[in-house]
Chain A
Amino acid sequence: MTSDLADRAAALFFELASVPVEARAAWLDERCGGEVALRREVDRLLDALDAPDAFLDPLAVHPTAASGDTPLLPGTRVGDFTVLRVIGSGSAGIVYVAEQRYPMRAVALKVLRHGLDATSVRRRFELEADLLARLDHPGVATIYAAHPGDASTPAFIAMELVDGPPITESADARTLSAAERVELAARVCDAVQHAHQRGIIHRDLKPANILVDPHGQPKILDFGVARAVDADAPFASSQTGHGQLVGTVPYMSPEQVSGRPDLVDTRTDIYALGALLFKLLTGTLPFADGNPSLPELARRIADDEPPRLSDRVPALAGDLDTIVGCALAKDREHRYPSAADLAMDLRRYLAGEPIAATAASMRQVLARRLVRYRRALVASGLVAVALAGVAAWAVSERQRADQANADLARELSASTLEQSRFLAAAGNFLTAERLAWQELFRRPDSRHALWTLWEIYARQPLRWTVVADPRGSGSVRFSPDGRHLLTASNDGGLRLHESATGAIVREPGRHEGGAWDAVFSRDGRLVASVGADDMLRVWDVEHARPLAAIPGEGRQLFRVVWHPNGTRIATSGLAGRVDIWRTDGAREATIVERASGARALAFDERGRWLAAGFDDGTLAVWEVDSHRVRWQVHQAEAVTTVAFEPGGSRLVSGSFSQTVHLWDAATGTPLVSIEPNNGTIRRISFDPSGRYLAIAGWWRTMVWDLDDNEPVRSERHFGAGAWDAAIAPSLAYLATSDERTGSLRLWDLRPSPHLVEWAAHTGRIAGLQATGDGALLVTGGFDGRLHAWRRDETGTYTAADLGISGARILDVAMPPGGEWAAAGGESGLWVVDLARRTAPSLVGESLNVTAVAASPDGRRLFAGTLDGRLLAWDMAGGRATPAWSLASDAEVLSLDVSGDRLAIAHRLRGVAIRSTMDGRVILPSTGTYTAFGLAVRPDGREIAVGLWEGNVLQVDAATGATARTLSGHGRVVGSVRYTADSATLVTASRDGATRLWDVATGAPLATRASRTAGAESLALLPGDRVAIGHDDGAMVAAEMDYFLRHVAGNAAFQAAALGPSAADFPRAGEVLAWARRTTEGR
């Protein structure tokens, strides 16, 4: 067709739009005259009027069409809440006062306007709600419940109902003095700091979002709510709702008004706090003089220097001026590094102490001042002495500045990593990975960054990524033995990669201009390939030797497949021909010649049939020997891929239409169609067993289980944009090739190769201990049983019931040498000699034991009881002899021993340390908390405590003071353990999660939450393994460093992805060196 014809047809077609429908046929007949080609093209355009509805269509979501615009009537039930009345509305939805049944209370209920449809959005919402639930501060309105919405309930967030006016109005109404306003602002800073420490940035702090309750407590609303609803929204709506933008822009930071969301961090909130102080103290807004239009206001915020408080209210000159100026600094580097620093300066000001902001600004004038000093002092002849003094001062200033910079860098890094973890959990892996990798490249020694990546790859089990050809690779196939991967790349290369590492082992051949497809023969010794040079080539893989080169002669060869007997090859071409060749280069037959490109081609397993799919939607199967068409169907969309089921009777095809069809391979009877919703299907391959399909689609790659007719591990992410995907013969891995970036990736396909799970008990596993070598585990459960788990030479654990029976077992003890085990519970204290394997003996029949512990040398056993007693026994020859006992009036909750120190936790008494020898007090009970989990750090200098509400405390063992609170768990933390090197703390909680923490910094390293049941007890095993006992009786052994090899496998790719910015990461080489060691060590 000439373009002229196309243009004429289009012109006619467009004109036809204004011709009445009934007159169109006649009109066309007349205008086309006898021009058949023209008429046919117009007809095609007319056909296209039936293009799929989704084509070019704007988003379905329209505010006018959305639900949630109409306010709910009073009395409407939303989840657990009953709507009472509307109190506001905003872009995200309508806010109501609602009543909760249990507990009975009034809440602010924000019903979201749009349903959260996309899975990723829903997940983000849930995660954000989780994150927000961790905020527990009197200055933050509490989130009670959040629901992402379903068929019966709209999406909503229920939060604390704050009864009070916005902070500015409240201050005016109560006619607060300047000092009282400063104190009020400092309290807002405290609440903001609390959230920042948990990785949550508000982004929309303004008076309308900070209400003051009747007790004078400021409460911040909508923390993170904006982000839960819309990842990048700086504008959350508030309970007051009206004139949002007018109220919002003056508090927006320069980076926000400049549209640089990538620069938004905790210091964005500092800016807003500065603007709030300005408003509170002067009654005016920093840039709002002369009532500018909003764009003008935004411009001023972005470009102008902020005014000083004293410009508006001269009485405020001095330190307050400096403090607010520092908070409002244009460049976020010059602002207070944290809300705590701002609060501290505000309080220093109130106490009349020198503020820090002055020192910071001093630094900037230091150079100027030095010059001035010099001039002044030269004259007086005191240069040497004075300069020494000034220099000393300058050095101390520098040190302070460096310290401040280091603190800031650490806070920012932690915040970035939290953001990365959040994004990964929400499904945005690209950004999550990039953020975390940049942090790791910046600070190769950051355990926080390393374990953030661990967590990312635990969700997205990507073992390695390599880019062999940045121009993109096309097909990818496993060798029959699974040890190698073969790719055909746009640069023309055929490459053989080692499956284990992705390393290129050989380049068996190439096609000038691009290689489109390459396949192994069934024995894996030969490769057939086609490419842009329109040649069919056959190679000896091992020797990288060409065996045949057959010209396509205009076929535009595109796909190639081996006949199972290894002596024939079939090709299909974009010119529409399907041929069968012999490996010596002779053409055996042309199966078909059509006017439409043949992109899909497959032999069945026995080599009787050949299937091909065409761009015009034709799918046909031929008998190989007779060349007869066996069956043929026509689909509306181009067929992109076909495959026969190995050992089965089905044929699968994929097409432009994004639907996967299964056919009876013999008859062409349609069997099932699958809509995997992963975009246009690029390529489908069967695994060798015929049960799974790897479906490479435009949006994502997935593995489909044909037996269950559902995606395998849909929670997992196997990347987007893959051109081809292949399942390893072992079924353990999935390989994908991305034709855009050229990356070749290998993913774990097995459910959790790093996990082993046993149904160990029929009730909660309350006690779990391991020997130092991990060869023996003991578990005690609510089912009253005590099990010993011995590891055999294959690493498999086998359980033996130690033969006690009685009431619930609450705790077990075993020394690291595994000589004996003890189990305590409601029916007393049992001891079992594990070395001699004698029958268990009941040593404390009348005791109601709540906790037990063993001394590391195995010579003492300790038990605590419900009635507050603490008892010690000498253990020798498998027998227990009472050593000493103490009484108290508070229930013993937990015990742990390190060296000669016994840590003991009584209900509501915090922790105490006693001597294992005689029970003498070393550290008296300090604290009023109840420690459900307890561990003494191996060096004896710290105690870790797990609390009911989910917090974990790091307690100084010398003073009993709480050094740090680790927030993250949502429910009771019943078990805590230090790793042998004291560097990592492992905690298990009834919320189902096991978490790792950096002992030195308190940074959360990783979270493992694969089960719904609560994690109750844990033991650390050698080789970075951990055993976890669960509420439902299951025990899981997890290899904690498993995903670190995934991190290592992606390091080189990620370093290369830094591109020109690599210069900003001078230490990236350290990461690469670590990755090489890790990869080679495996």
Chain B
Amino acid sequence: MRPDGPGTTGELLPLVYDELRRLARAQLSREPAGHTLQPTALVHEAYLRLWKSGEDKQWDRRGHFFAAAAIAMRRILVERARHYQRIKHGGQEKRVAFDIEQVDRPGAGEGTWTDVLVINDALDRLEKMDARKAQVVMLRYFAGLSVEETASALGLSPTTVKTEWAFARAWFYRTLRGDGPEAGEAP
């Protein structure tokens, strides 16, 4: 099968495994050090879900497949994060809001589960307002796809993806900072 042609989950597995692991790594690099979930485990878990949803499902583009994998990963991470919060935390709201800066530094290996939930909630809100931008954010942030890959997955032009991404990102930035206009008012 051609890399960009259609295929079933079973056929796609060996072809995209490395890339899925890369997605998983992108995801997990945002989590706290010492977490128990590892890229391989995340891929396996994501796979299990995709596969339960129908092994013979045809994916008409590899990008669609990635999008589905990204959704699966997002769900797993959100579930983990909720679980983690349930067992770990009491009243930490005050400082959690202040800790949103962690999302500024992907790649350094120590995000927090809180991020996953904060971003997830914001993404839910964005979905209601502008589904396409939400899709772009999900593929970029939760799946770690590049602009080109995202464009191919959504069937958009890279320029459109870039614009959508920039606007969505700006909205996230503004929203996640958590301070309304009063707090940001110049003296």
Q: Which A residues fall within an 8 A CB radius of B? A: 1, 6-7, 10-11, 13-14, 16-18, 37, 40-41, 44-49, 51-52, 54-65, 91, 118, 120, 230-235, 243-246, 257-262, 293-296, 428, 430-431, 434, 470-472, 490, 514, 532, 594-597, 615-616, 618, 656, 658, 677, 679-680, 698-699, 720-721, 723, 739-740
Contact = CB atoms under 8 A, between A and B. Distances in A.
Given A40-B181, A59-B106, A514-B94, 11 more contacts: A14-B130, A18-B163, A45-B171, A48-B173, A56-B141, A58-B143, A230-B39, A232-B40, A232-B41, A294-B13, A698-B102
Q: Is the interface of A mostly helix, strand, loop or mixed?
A: loop
Nearest to A293: B10
Nearest to A64: B146
A490 B96 CA distance: 12
Nearest to A656: B101
Interface string B16-36: 011101100110010011101
A41 B91 contact: no
A295 to B, nearest CB: 5
Contacts of B182: 1, 595
B127 interface: no
B133 A14 contact: yes
B183 A597 contact: yes
Contacts of A56: 103, 106, 119, 137, 140-141, 169, 172-173
19 contacts: A17-B166, A45-B170, A55-B173, A56-B169, A58-B145, A59-B25, A59-B144, A62-B146, A63-B18, A65-B146, A231-B38, A232-B40, A259-B40, A259-B41, A430-B33, A490-B91, A595-B185, A615-B184, A699-B105
Contacts of B5: none
A120 B169 contact: no
Contacts, number: 210
Select the residue from A56, A428, A721 with max chain B CB neighbours within 10 A: A56
A65 B33 CA distance: 26
- For chain B, which range describes its interface: under 10, 10 to 19, 20 to 34, or 35 or more residues? 35 or more
Nearest to A92: B18
A618 B163 CA distance: 32
B187 to A, nearest CB: 5
A507 B99 CA distance: 28
Nearest to A474: B95
Contacts of A434: 34
B13 A63 contact: no
Contacts of A233: 21, 40
A451 B24 CA distance: 35
Interface string B139-155: 01101111010000000
B9 interface: yes
Contact of B92 (A45, A244, A471): A471
A472 B101 CA distance: 19
A17 B133 CA distance: 10
Given A17-B167, A260-B41, A615 B110 contact: no
B55 A295 contact: yes
A91 B39 CA distance: 14
B180 interface: yes
B170 A49 contact: yes
A16 B119 CA distance: 23
Q: When A and B form their complex, which 4 residue pairs have the shortest distance between CB atoms, in order from nearest? A: A259-B44, A430-B34, A293-B10, A48-B170
A290 to B, nearest CB: 14
A495 to B, nearest CB: 18
B14 interface: yes
Contacts of B107: 59-61
Contact of B99 (A91, A231, A595, A698): A698
Given A245-B13, A514-B94, A14 B33 contact: no
A10 B129 contact: yes
Contacts of A721: 32, 110
B144 to A, nearest CB: 4
B110 A245 contact: no
A55 B36 contact: no
Interface string B73-111: 000000000000000101110110001011111111110
Interface string B106-121: 1111100000000100
A13 B170 contact: yes
B60 interface: no
B19 A63 contact: yes
A258 B14 CA distance: 17
B38 A1 contact: no
Given A295-B47, A430-B33, A44 B129 contact: no
Contacts of B13: 245, 293-295
Nearest to A294: B13
